[in-house]
Structure 1
Amino acid sequence: ERDAGGHLISSRGPGPVELRARSWLHANCAHCHRRHGGGSAPLEVNFDRALSEAALLWERPTRGDFGLTEARALVPGQPWRSVLNYRVSAIGSGHMPLIGAREVDKAGAALLWEWVAGLPVETRSEEPPLDPFDESQLASTSSAMRLAHAAATGALDDVGKKRAIEAGLSSPRPEVRALFERFRPPAERPLPRRHQAATILKLTGDPDSGSEILSPTGKLAVCFSCHRIGEAGVDFGPNLSDVGGRLSREALLESILEPSRTVLPEFALWTVETAKGEAVTGLMAEKTNEILTMKIGPEVSREIGLAEVIRQSPSAASAMPEGLADFLEPQEVADLLAALAALKSIGN
């Protein structure tokens, strides 16, 4: 991972792919994503941290999975399942690095893809063939991500690239469109909306239309990677099945537009550091005199002996990503609000 002297090298120069990729991550991401760096995701990508200790490999994402297939922070051999690769390839609220240019670093994104794709795996899965004229390839974020990467790196001919970009930008799913916005000139991109609560609250929402937006196949299908409504979704964030009976319209809207403003204690993110040098981030599920149980993902828990804990730090940020409603129309936000307000009991 490091050269003989432990030095960074240019990510755009000659040298081993892994060394160049780790240098890129250190220069662009490690100012926040390091021990005590303040990043809301528990990554430690500073150059001096071994990859096995970086809280990347096979770790469940704590700030949204963008609809990726069996998403993880980083999946060796499969960048199309890796949230790290998604974030550096997308434009919009999910883009990383958070500080600096809001454009995709084309060379950096291609380098990280090559690095992750080449990481050692026990069994290397064969990638399904790409076809920009097959609309089903945009049905999942992971397949759309492969298509966007192919368009960006010259793997498609001019006709195929044009078709892939047109189809990607026409997708009803914002997490897919975000992967193709890099191909559109900045002046032609739709501006993300900063919705004003007072404006939304004056609108009359249609709960049926809102339910279509907030469905496993709707524009906000990503919400089901953390929340449950009835039989759909998972149990990580609050169960939304009765949220309309628990929160006012104003509080519901605040949770959509500013998810970190009010975080219930039981859903606050904590980072627990152990004497072994580990940093585990998740929800505090249970604490006894001897064991601390952390909920680190949907249906995934981690038990830590209290004797091993040296520090427990709460995060000010919610596990829910910011900006999920930025690319919705004001009326769509009002419809979403009406749908949530109509959810009155666990049984509905």
Structure 2
Amino acid sequence: MARASATPRSSAYLSALSQEIEKKLQRALASPPQRRNLLQELFADVALEVDDRARDIILSREEDTISPADDSHLGQLCFYDVLADYYVQAPESGKPILDLIVQLWSQSFASHIFSLLFHKWLFEVQLDNPEVLLRYSSALAQGATNVFWIDIQTNTRRFQSLFCYLLDEVAVEPARLNKIPVQAQRDLYLLLSRFILFYNSGDKLDTFLKHCPTFPNAFLIGGPTDFFVTELADQLQKLKVEPVLLHYLSNLKVLQGMELRMATSTRLKTCLYSFTSPGGPMYPTRAVRHAAWDALDLLFPLFDWRSRTLHPVYSAHLQRRSTA
């Protein structure tokens, strides 16, 4: 992936922006009563889409430079996109900010901010201390999870560039992936498994599964597909936003033909079946009920065409579908 070469004008702008971030973090550290609000404001600031004036400065080109816009997703460029690149190119500018975030680790929104600003720095800058690597990797996973859930709750994809970097540039790139501890690699795999369909990356699933790290409990759970489907089933049951749930259900076609252990297959069937009946505990809408049935029909056909018998898991409930 091409990275922007900052011009003197854009570097000066990003340096000034970094100083403002540092000042707000210092205020948060010095004022416990206002800490949460200040960190929330800072998170909102770095997640903002770059306005036209700032875009003109940041994307100003000199000969043989590459615009950061080449890295933006869906035509959207946010401040965290350009700052994440900047802290790789000028790590000394990010160090005071990183030191302050570390002092605020336990505070709400600290991991959000870290994941947005330093997700590239973590994999591009050499870090030799295993304990520090584990701490930063854990913060990245926590922060990324939080911001991806914000996208789900609002049915937006403001943080898609973060997801795509972790998937395309880390999870399937051993040179970067192996920079973080094995446990962090596993956490990243599970994290991406939960959101890969939301961020429309199902076409990359085969490559993603081939780079699955080794799990110590694999003899109990199964292979990469079993871990992936287990995380996906758990994710489905947490979704409360109807358009997002429908999006997931409509994209389950990528699972067609996957070889799963019996326990994993049953888990997915049970999950999908929970969306086919009105009322608790899922309270699915009519659209969700029909989408769940469509997914069941696609992944687990009602008929075994060799014996012409109904699948036992559905035989007692087939009549209910006609009235669902």
TM-score, with length taken from structure 2: 0.28
User: Which structure is higher in strand share?
Assistant: 1
Larger Rg: 2
Q: Which has the higher helix share?
A: 2
